[in-house]
Amino acid sequence: MSTRRGEIMKELGLQRWRLRGRPTRGDAPPAAAVAKAEAATEAELPLDGRAAQILRMDWPQLKDSVAGCVACPLHKGRTKTVFGVGDEHASWLFVGEGPGAEEDLRGEPFVGQAGKLLDNMLAAIHLKRGKDVYIANIVKCRPPGNRAPEPLEAAQCEPYLQRQIELIKPKLIVALGKVAAVNLLRREASIASLRGKLHDYRGIPLIVTYHPAYLLRNLPGKAEAWVDLCFAVDTMRGLKNKPAAAT
């Protein structure tokens, strides 16, 4: 193991894991779940005028719109909006919950301790922020006290993320934490029931793992997150090897 890789695995608390090594039987996600994608169950909400407008925007229009957005109460406490960062044609999209204090100051997602861990998680599967990877959040303004976004706030912000996803066209979405997962999938569920399964977001495969901020407080969760990352890597490999559909 190279020194750098050793450091990364140490940071993750995962020295005994290897990317190429499959999870052991006890660690594997439920077999039936892995094989089959789950469709989101709830019907899509009708678009109001604002959402319809956002869903026609290009990247510059979208960035301008977010920068000046006052569509929900979160705008009152923000320092900067946190639009998202990365490769605008990325295969991988990682979605978190919302900006924290440092993200609010810098206008970039995942730049604090949780961000450092996310970068290490990416490095452990040979990915890098900005290189075939895009990182975004459910809401683009910081919820006060780092609370979870309220349903109204998430709903008002949703068209922005939806449009970002339409423009990026990722092959795979990784939802970081329950808040990201339930908002993207539009159904309430425990993170335990969502992990280890291939879900579907508007035709794009979606995998759920823990939020890095949770992993900072919960060491056993890191081993489970590693299982999720291996699952994501295997899924992406399958997606990239899949023959293009005949036109």
For 48-105, give the DSSP string. Answer: -HHHHHHTT--HHHHHHHHHT--SSGGGGG-SS----EE-TT-SEEEEES---HHHHH
Instruction: Report the 10 Å Cβ neighbour count for 15.
Output: 11
Angle 70-74-77 (CA atoms, 0-180°, nearest 5)? 105
Applying the rule CB under 6 A, the residues between 74 and 103 that interact with ligand SF4 are 74-75, 81
Residue 153 lies near ligand SF4 (rule: CB under 6 A) = yes
Tokens, residue 194? 């969502």
Q: Residue from 95, 127, 141, 198 that binds ligand SF4 (CB under 6 A)? A: 141
Report, in Å, the least distance between residue 110 CB and ligand SF4. 17
Report, in Å, the least distance between residue 32 CB and ligand SF4. 37
Residue 140 lies near ligand SF4 (rule: CB under 6 A) = yes
Residue 156 lies near ligand SF4 (rule: CB under 6 A) = yes
Residue 72 lies near ligand SF4 (rule: CB under 6 A) = yes
Report, in Å, the least distance between residue 210 CB and ligand SF4. 23
Dihedral sign, Cα of residue 156, residue 64, residue 98, residue 131? positive
Tokens, residue 179? 């808040």
Applying the rule CB under 6 A, the residues between 49 and 68 that interact with ligand SF4 are 66
Q: Of 72 and 194, which CB lies nearer to ligand SF4 in the complex structure?
A: 72
Report, in Å, the least distance between residue 165 CB and ligand SF4. 15
Instruction: Report the 10 Å Cβ neighbour count for 13.
Output: 17
Residue 136 lies near ligand SF4 (rule: CB under 6 A) = no
Residue 229 CA to residue 209 CA, distance in Å, equals 8
Q: Of 144 and 238, which CB lies nearer to ligand SF4 in the complex structure?
A: 144
- Write out the residues near ligand SF4 by the rule CB under 6 A: 66, 69-72, 74-75, 81, 139-141, 153, 156-157
